[in-house]
Amino acid sequence: MPNIRQEVFTSIHEQWLSQTIEMAVENVKNGGGPFAAIVVRDGKIIGKGTNQVHVLHDPSAHAELLAIRQACETLQSIDLSDCVLYASGEPCPMCLGAAYWSTVGHIYYACGKQEVSEQTDFQNPLDRYFTDQKLPGDQRLVPFVQVTCKNALAPFYEWQKTTEQK
Amino acid sequence: MPNIRQEVFTSIHEQWLSQTIEMAVENVKNGGGPFAAIVVRDGKIIGKGTNQVHVLHDPSAHAELLAIRQACETLQSIDLSDCVLYASGEPCPMCLGAAYWSTVGHIYYACGKQEVSEQTDFQNPLDRYFTDQKLPGDQRLVPFVQVTCKNALAPFYEWQKTTEQK
């Protein structure tokens, strides 16, 4: 017997994602990138975003990151734990990071990075940057170097003072 | 014999980082988080940022991400390949992502995540979220689910049309 509850559940996610995908199509028509995302809470959209990287000259203006920022502004809180993030494409490590910092409850996405590169002309030359995050800093494409500084921990000690006053 | 060139080189990075660390200390005094970052190009600061997460209710408002955004606005370009990012603390995966998307040339930071958690009271309960990015989506703290959608690739085919017109 099919699991009806599971089917209904999946169908809701598919509806939100289809709407998100349509936003992404519209965004391309308006000169943006082929990505969109929404943040949903209690069945309502509280944050929307489409890829605006080239429009805004902002490498962080990915759909997911903008949707998360708008949702947090709506709630005046950085806690999205009771929200769901829907993304038309598989979120990149930066967007996944923003989602984690917002403690968003669930992430659903429609097409995977591999499908996009295999089935369309859309290629991302920067993906190679993300594969070497596990390498030692000096072997990465972008060298990542720790420098010894005497006052390196000063900001945290200052932070400690403010928390002690509370 | 000591390598004088290397010493001078390190000292320049230490100077930029010390300045960045001072910005982080000031930021704490003003109610922000204990982090700061700058983007430097040709010996000049073209982007600055301090942690404004709680001030702005924006989980993406990390120092590095704000500094990168400001640098890109200054240049009206998302290409920071001839720039250096200096961060008072070790950049998180989100900020590393933003740095990669901007193709920033080098990243230098002062204190590592581990030193901060071992030597100060500053702890980050969300770090555990980042350790499970390698797990299958359904086993992660934030479930990461791909949903089959008929129109999933539509935005990329739309994008293809626009590039064919060029």
Q: Which member of B22, B64, B90, B115 is catalytic?
A: B64
Q: Spell out the residues 6+ positions from residue B87 whose beta carbon is closer than 8 angstroms to its own.
A: B20, B35, B36, B37, B63, B64, B95, B107, B108, B109, B110
Instruction: Give the catalytic positions of A in this structure.
Output: 64
Residue B38 has pLDDT above 60, yes or no: yes
Residue A7 has pLDDT above 70, yes or no: no
Annotated active-site residue B26? The verdict is no
Would you call A99 and B159 a contact, using CB atoms and an 8 Å cutoff?
A: no
Would you call B159 and A122 a contact, using CB atoms and an 8 Å cutoff?
A: yes
CA distance B62 to chain A (A): 10
CA distance B10 to chain A (A): 8
Nearest 5°: CA angle at A152, between A148 and A156? Answer: 155
Closest CB from B53, B105, B145 relative to A78: B53
First to last CA, chain A: 58
Residues in chain B with CB shorter than 8 Å from the CB of A27 are: 155
CA distance B3 to chain A (A): 17
Q: How many helices (H) and strands (E) does chain A have?
A: 7, 5
Q: What are phi and psi of B47, to 5 degrees?
A: -155, 135
Would you call B103 and A129 a contact, using CB atoms and an 8 Å cutoff?
A: yes
Residue with tokens 């740095």: B99
> Tell me: the pLDDT tens digits for A56-103?
999 999 999 999 999 999 999 999 999 999 999 999 989 989 999 999
Would you call B148 and A14 a contact, using CB atoms and an 8 Å cutoff?
A: yes
Secondary structure string (H, E, C) spanning chain B: CCCHHHHHHHHHHHHHHHHHHHHHHHHHHCCCCCCEEEEEECCEEEEEEECCHHHHCCCCCCHHHHHHHHHHHHHCCCCCCCCEEEEEECCCHHHHHHHHHCCCCEEEEEECHHHHHHHCCCCCCCHHHHCCCCCCHHHCCCCEEECCCCCCCHHHHHHHHHHHHC
> Tell me: the pLDDT tens digits for B78-95?
999 999 999 999 999 899
- C-beta separation of B95 from B73 below 8 A: no
Question: Which candidate in A100, A116, A120, A163 is best for mutational testing of the B interface (most B CBs within 10 A)?
Answer: A100
| Spatial separation of the C-alpha atoms in residues A81 and A89, rounded to whole Å | 21
Rg (CA), chain A: 19
**Looking at A63-77, B19-33, B106-120, which range is the least confident one?**
B106-120
Closest CB from B102, B129, B157 relative to A120: B157
Inter-chain CB pairs, A–B, below 8 Å: 279
Secondary structure string (H, E, C) spanning A70-133: HHHHHHCCCCCCCCEEEEEECCCHHHHHHHHHCCCCEEEEEECHHHHHHHCCCCCCCHHHHCCC
Would you call A28 and B142 a contact, using CB atoms and an 8 Å cutoff?
A: no
pLDDT of residue B9: 61
| Spatial separation of the C-alpha atoms in residues A24 and A64, rounded to whole Å | 12
Closest CB from A21, A112, A142 relative to B151: A21
> Tell me: the pLDDT tens digits for A93-102?
899 899 999 9
List, in sequence order, every residue forming a beta bridge with B40; answer none if it has no partner: B45, B84
The torsion region of residue B146 among left (phi > 0), alpha (psi -120 to 50) and beta comes to beta
Q: State ipTM.
A: 0.89
pTM: 0.90
| Spatial separation of the C-alpha atoms in residues B24 and A156, rounded to whole Å | 9
pLDDT band at A117 (very low <50, low <70, confident <90, very high): confident
> Tell me: the pLDDT tens digits for B58-85?
999 999 999 999 999 999 999 999 999 9
Residues in chain A with CB shorter than 8 Å from the CB of B110 are: 146-149, 152
Residue with tokens 């969300």: B126
Cα B17 off chain centre by: 15
Give CA separation, A105 vs B132, B141, B142, in Å: 15, 9, 6
Q: What are the structure tokens assigned to A132, written together? A: 């070497």
Q: What are the structure tokens assigned to B34, written together? A: 């204990």
| Spatial separation of the C-alpha atoms in residues A104 and A65, rounded to whole Å | 12
Question: Which candidate in A26, A29, A159 is best for mutational testing of the B interface (most B CBs within 10 A)?
Answer: A159
> Tell me: the pLDDT tens digits for B126-161?
777 776 667 888 888 778 888 888 888 889 889 888
Closest CB from B17, B72, B150 relative to A58: B72
Q: What are phi and psi of A75, to 5 degrees?
A: -85, -10
